[in-house]
Amino acid sequence: MIWGSVIAVLVIAGALLFFRFGNKAKSGAVWREYRADIGSIREVVSTTATIKPQNRLEIKSPVGGRIDEILVREGDFVKKGQVLALVSSTERAALLDAAIRQGAGEADYWKKVYNQTALISPIDGQVIVSSLNPGQTITTSDAVLVLSDRLIVKADVDETDIGNVRLGQKAEISLDAYPEIKVDGVVDHIYYESTLVNNVNIYKVDLLPSSVPDVFRSGMSANVNIIVSEKDHVLTLPIAAVKERNGRSFVTVRNGTSPDSIRRIPVRTGLRDDNNIEIVSGLATGDVVVVRDTTFVLPKRNGGSNPFMPQRRNPQQNQRG
């Protein structure tokens, strides 16, 4: 049992030595090339957001009673001063119920004498909630309807990014439910008080969309890119091509004809996004930089078979045996 363990350890050690030294001796380092090109680059703050009413206004009855009519539907746009619903006070509802039992004429009389209470829209806006129906009994604390003057986008920005957000910055908005719809927006308000979410301080940022598509609904989830800065026609490289040491950036280029002979060139960088970085100085358009490819590839043998796996015998050898 002990000898079997020793043999297994020796086999594994031999395999590691082969991969590390034997394979390296057969081939030099592999270098990946990147070319400095002119392009556009922009720095953004990417985060999640929610569609919300800018001003949410609940329409309540000044008297308790019964809903007679609701004159609008959810999604309707209304004007300031428009009648939204009609309500009978508790006294009027009781009086009319008694009058109806005495006859239609008596009921008509009291309907004219005892007027309904009209619920009036105080703003131009849209009906975003209409959950009650005619005939339901209500109190003065019940919201018969909910209005919104306009829908906006409330973004959640991490405290590490809030310092890059400014009023008036442009933004791109997309909905999780409709990712193909892109809407431009602008930063309208940055909240002064944070909220703690998963032990991270989050600041709310209001974005005003340039237009509100019909598919926008209060409560929808969205993704936003707040554009901090952007540049066109600048020299760029993939971020992977630029290294940093002791606070200074540099790239590596070939030094002569030897494939493994390289030298460092200091560069000054500017904006960066998720993929590329701006090269302010140190390189010119078309310059090629190289980066050592650290991807490890298993050595191949006999048409791709692993040298440490048992080899399949040739059928002719079997015949000879």
- CATH topology for 45-53+150-230? Elongation Factor Tu (Ef-tu); domain 3 (2.40.30)
- C-alpha distances in angstroms, 48 versus 133, 155, 198, 220? 36, 6, 15, 11
Cα(first)–Cα(last) distance of the chain, in Å? 32
Lowest-confidence pick of 25-34, 105-114, 185-194, 219-228: 105-114
Looking at the domain that runs over 61-148, which CATH code has it been given?
A: 2.40.50.100
- Listed in order, the ranges of the chain carrying CATH 2.40.30.170 are 45-53+150-230
Instruction: Please list, in sequence order, all residues whose beta carbon lies within 8 angstroms of the beta carbon of residue 110, skipping any fewer than 6 positions away.
Output: 92, 95, 96, 99
Lowest-confidence pick of 26-30, 63-67, 71-75: 26-30
What pLDDT, on the 0 to 100 scale, is given for residue 57? 94
- Listed in order, the ranges of the chain carrying CATH 2.40.50.100 are 61-148
Identify the band that residue 37 occupies on the pLDDT scale cut at 50, 70 and 90.
very high
Lowest-confidence pick of 108-117, 240-249, 286-295: 108-117
What pLDDT, on the 0 to 100 scale, is given for residue 255? 82
DSSP per-residue letters across 32-76:
EEEE-EEEEEEEEEEEEEEEEESSEEEEE-SS-EEEEEE---TT-
Of 197 and 8, the one with more pLDDT: 197
What pLDDT, on the 0 to 100 scale, is given for residue 293? 77
Q: Mean pLDDT, to the nearest integer, of 263-283?
A: 92
What pLDDT, on the 0 to 100 scale, is given for residue 119? 95
Q: Is the pLDDT of residue 93 over 80?
A: no
Q: What does pLDDT average to over the chain?
A: 83
